[in-house]
């Protein structure tokens, strides 16, 4: 019975899933089961009776044999022990494996030993290590995700946040928990955003610009890279968001700087223009009055003095013109105005102009034109006059005896071009050779003392040089002191064929040159057509093929004008216009003119388009000149449209109806006071008083809205100004009478 049981146990042990080795006091193997044979790699006969410790090493995860350490508590204290995680059992040179084990002392009938129970857990350990590796890697990615400066978010297709990183939490002000509660509509306040996310025809991956909102409602511009990803069979939208406020701020600053520079340039040319007006007006007053005086009966001395005044003013004007021209050239505001002209006529005019001067200075003026062509030349004749006048004028200025000669010769004549040499020669003082190179510099005269004697701002030759440069020619001088000078100018002109020469009635659209136009149009043939219309006029055309692209381009560049197609895919012209107007308002930019291009134009459409933020519209198909005119018109409107006509219309009154009502008794006294004073001034014909009183009375009539008074005062003023005092007198008499009548009417009506 007992044997039977023992036999059973023996078989149980043999079939146990764990390896079992039993040793005696001296570690000799008493027993090992079948599993132990399998995993140790030793047969029973190889180990039985052998000292187990001769064949076993217990290796910790540092690679050290810790066998004795492990066995110490078992041997000394007779307590069971196990193996630490990561410990290997190595049997001889055969099998080595991670193991979990229990090492238990046994005692029986005075004998003792150890029972080793162990199993190979290498597979489990390896799997754990693998998982740990994976876990570590995940940790790396999580850290990257969390610490990334770029905002990263993962959305499901309902727009719910699945994940958002720390950068997102920081920028938007939502905590991780709050993100889990909200949808993308909270950060992008665009009613279409969900439709966009769910769009069946979505682009797998795209880059867009938009505006996002933080929890506190702050808006900031962003650039979003988004792509759809599949995680465990579900589709998600991965978005990487870049806050581009700083970039935009930078761009805005650049824009501002650019605007400033442009404004400064505009201010400069306006200053030049004003300058020329401010100075020319009084000079022209002096000259005009002098001329009027010269028509009177005067003695010889008076005539001479007046002529001196006249000549001095002419000189002053010339200097002014020089300075202005020079500044204009310097500022790059001077452009050539080319048109066909006759060379013959030009030469003849120069001859005529200087005949009188030659006679006065007792010099000969020889003019020779050896150019044979009968064709007209194409160029800026006014600038050519300026060049030659400057040279001939100088020649006369510095020559006291002998002759000045002006000649034109052809250097080279082709079928369509002609190169001409203009020569101006004098027998004057000549120029010191050393001074020649700096002759065409501004403010240098050969002898600075000439400044005092000969006049001139010292700009003449430098203007000549600048103009010749502008016309693509060359200018030079050959001179020796005391031997006169020879100035030459070489210029090339196009020849105008008589048959093709038509008077230039087409507006030249100079204003359009260099303008930046954004063309928003999806149809490539239309794109090409518009570009071919605009390019020849010097406009830079950028094409956007839909509204979305237009808004993107608009943020990156400054355009002078936008041509906006209405029907387009993705984002239509109306939406794009709204977006642009909104953007301009937010960025504090002045509105860019937008012209709608539409195939459907009906009555009242203009108003409709205006309401939608467009400035004008053009219905397709349109002609080239229509397009150019409308662009020209829009570029000229400076935003401050004057409402002069409205103002005038509101003030127009009809006839004399209601004069009595208009003139209340209190005001009649004021008017009669004016009449009295006007009467006094009229007696002695004090023009200045009459003018002032007339203006005051007219202003009074305007302010009090008494059209009758205002109109009368105006008529009176005009009569006085044209010195028709008889008419003025009559007007005053009638007015006095009428006012008296009104007073009676009012009186009788009990006012």
Binding footprint of other proteins on the chain (CB under 8 A): 273-274, 276-277, 280-289, 291-292, 313, 317, 335, 337, 507-508, 510-511, 642, 644-645, 648, 652, 711, 714-715, 718, 721-724
Q: Tell me which residue of 146, 164, 148 sits closest to 156, measured CA to CA.
A: 164
Q: Which is nearer to other proteins, 325 or 522 (CB)?
A: 325
Q: Which is nearer to other proteins, 137 or 510 (CB)?
A: 510
Q: Which is nearer to other proteins, 661 or 687 (CB)?
A: 687
Least distance between other proteins and beta carbon 237 (Å): 55
Q: Which is nearer to other proteins, 175 or 273 (CB)?
A: 273
DSSP conformation letters of 620-677: SS--HHHHHHHHHHHHH--S----HHHHHHHH---TTTTHHHHS-HHHHHHHHHHHHH
154 Cβ contact partners less than 8 Å away, ≥ 6 residues apart:
161, 162, 163, 164, 229, 236, 237, 238, 239
Least distance between other proteins and beta carbon 724 (Å): 8
Q: Which is nearer to other proteins, 434 or 648 (CB)?
A: 648
Q: Tell me which residue of 469, 419, 409 sits closest to 440, measured CA to CA.
A: 469
CA atoms within 13 A on the CB side of 638: 2
Q: Which is nearer to other proteins, 207 or 723 (CB)?
A: 723
Strand partners, 494: 378, 417
CA distance 658 to 123: 114
Least distance between other proteins and beta carbon 333 (Å): 8
Q: Which is nearer to other proteins, 12 or 271 (CB)?
A: 271
Q: Which is nearer to other proteins, 194 or 294 (CB)?
A: 294
Least distance between other proteins and beta carbon 713 (Å): 11
Q: Which is nearer to other proteins, 280 or 736 (CB)?
A: 280
Cis ω before 280 (30° cut-off from 0): no
CA distance 33 to 420: 121
168 Cβ contact partners less than 8 Å away, ≥ 6 residues apart:
151, 152, 153, 174, 179, 241
Q: Which is nearer to other proteins, 611 or 642 (CB)?
A: 642
Q: Which is nearer to other proteins, 434 or 644 (CB)?
A: 644
40 Cβ contact partners less than 8 Å away, ≥ 6 residues apart:
19, 21, 32, 47, 91, 94, 95
With beta carbons less than 8 A apart as the criterion, state whether 95 and 57 touch: no
Count Cβ atoms within 10 A of the Cβ of residue 299 and give its class: 0-12 exposed, 13-18 middle, 19 or more buried. exposed
Report the 3 state secondary structure along 10-23: HHHHHHCCCEEEEE
Strands 540-544 and 516-520: parallel
With beta carbons less than 8 A apart as the criterion, state whether 336 and 383 touch: yes
With beta carbons less than 8 A apart as the criterion, state whether 701 and 709 touch: yes
CA distance 466 to 445: 16
Least distance between other proteins and beta carbon 448 (Å): 29
Least distance between other proteins and beta carbon 290 (Å): 10
Q: Which is nearer to other proteins, 288 or 402 (CB)?
A: 288
Least distance between other proteins and beta carbon 468 (Å): 19
Least distance between other proteins and beta carbon 279 (Å): 8
CA distance 745 to 751: 9
CA distance 18 to 95: 16
Least distance between other proteins and beta carbon 286 (Å): 7
Extract the tokens encoding 401: 């005896």
Q: Which is nearer to other proteins, 629 or 677 (CB)?
A: 629
CA distance 536 to 532: 7
Least distance between other proteins and beta carbon 221 (Å): 39
């Amino acid at each position: 019975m007992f044997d039977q049981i023992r036999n059973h146990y023996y078989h149980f042990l043999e079939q146990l899933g764990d390896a079992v080795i039993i040793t005696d006091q001296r570690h000799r193997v008493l027993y090992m089961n079948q599993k132990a044979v399998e995993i140790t790699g030793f047969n029973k006969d190889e180990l039985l009776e052998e000292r187990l410790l001769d064949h076993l090493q217990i290796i910790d995860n540092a690679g050290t044999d810790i066998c004795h350490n492990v066995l110490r508590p078992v041997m000394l204290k007779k307590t069971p022990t196990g193996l630490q995680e990561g410990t290997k059992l190595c049997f001889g040179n055969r099998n080595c494996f991670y193991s979990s084990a229990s090492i238990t002392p046994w005692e029986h009938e005075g004998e003792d030993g150890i029972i080793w129970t162990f199993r190979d857990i290498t597979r489990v350990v390896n799997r754990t290590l693998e998982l740990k590796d994976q876990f570590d890697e995940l940790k790396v990615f999580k850290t990257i995700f969390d610490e990334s400066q770029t905002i990263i978010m993962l959305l499901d297709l309902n727009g719910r946040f699945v994940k958002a990183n720390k950068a997102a939490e920081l920028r938007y002000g939502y905590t991780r928990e709050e993100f889990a509660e909200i949808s993308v509509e909270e950060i992008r306040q665009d009613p279409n955003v969900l439709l966009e996310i769910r769009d069946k025809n979505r682009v797998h991956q795209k880059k867009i610009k938009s505006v996002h909102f933080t929890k506190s409602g702050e808006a900031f511009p962003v650039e979003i890279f988004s792509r759809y990803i599949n995680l465990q069979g579900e589709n998600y939208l991965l978005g990487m968001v870049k806050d581009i406020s700083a970039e935009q701020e930078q761009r805005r600053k650049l824009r501002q700087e650019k605007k400033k520079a442009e404004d400064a340039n505009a201010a400069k040319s306006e200053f030049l223009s004003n300058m020329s007006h401010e100075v020319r007006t009084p000079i022209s007053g002096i000259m005009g009055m002098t001329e009027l005086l010269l028509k009177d009966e005067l003695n010889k001395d008076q005539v001479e003095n007046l002529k001196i005044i006249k000549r001095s003013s002419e000189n002053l004007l010339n200097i002014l013109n020089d300075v202005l021209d020079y500044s204009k050239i310097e500022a790059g505001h001077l452009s050539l105005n080319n048109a066909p002209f006759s060379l013959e006529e030009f030469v003849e005019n120069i001859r005529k102009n200087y005949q009188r001067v030659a006679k006065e200075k007792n010099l000969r003026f020889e003019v020779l034109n050896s150019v044979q062509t009968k064709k007209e030349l194409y160029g800026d004749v006014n600038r050519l006059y300026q060049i030659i006048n400057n040279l001939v004028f100088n020649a006369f200025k510095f020559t006291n005896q002998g002759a000045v000669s002006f000649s034109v010769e052809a250097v080279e004549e082709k079928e369509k071009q002609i190169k001409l040499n203009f020569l101006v020669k004098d027998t004057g003082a000549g120029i010191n050779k050393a001074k020649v190179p700096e002759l065409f510099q501004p403010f240098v005269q050969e002898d600075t003392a000439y400044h005092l004697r000969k006049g001139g701002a010292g700009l003449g030759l430098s203007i000549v040089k600048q103009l010749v440069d502008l016309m693509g020619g060359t200018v030079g001088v050959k001179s020796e002191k005391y031997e006169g000078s020879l100035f030459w100018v070489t210029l090339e002109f196009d020849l105008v064929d008589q048959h093709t020469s038509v008077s230039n009635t087409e507006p030249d659209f100079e204003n359009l040159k260099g303008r930046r136009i954004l063309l928003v149009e999806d149809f490539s043939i239309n794109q090409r057509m518009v570009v071919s219309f605009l390019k020849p006029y010097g406009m830079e055309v950028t094409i956007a093929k839909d509204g979305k692209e237009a808004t993107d381009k608009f943020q990156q560049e400054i355009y002078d004008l936008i041509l906006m197609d209405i029907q387009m895919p993705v984002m239509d012209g109306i939406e794009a216009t709204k977006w642009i107007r909104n953007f301009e308002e937010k960025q504090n930019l002045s509105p860019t003119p937008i012209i709608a291009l539409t195939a459907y134009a009906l009555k009242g459409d203009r108003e409709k388009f205006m309401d939608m933020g467009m400035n004008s519209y053009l219905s397709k198909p349109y002609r080239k000149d229509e397009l150019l005119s409308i662009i020209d018109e829009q570029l000229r409107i400076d935003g401050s449209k004057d409402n002069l006509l409205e103002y005038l219309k509101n003030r127009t009154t009809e006839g004399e109806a209601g004069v009595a009502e208009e003139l209340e008794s209190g005001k009649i006294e004021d008017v009669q006071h004016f009449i009295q004073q006007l009467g006094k001034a009229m007696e002695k014909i004090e023009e200045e008083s009459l003018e002032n009183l007339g203006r005051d009375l007219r202003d009074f009539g305007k302010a009090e809205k008494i059209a009758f008074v205002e109109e009368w005062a105006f008529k009176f003023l005009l009569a006085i100004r044209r010195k028709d005092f008889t008419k003025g007198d009559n007007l005053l008499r009638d007015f006095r009478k009428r006012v008296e009548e009104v007073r009676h009417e009012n009186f009788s009506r009990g006012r």
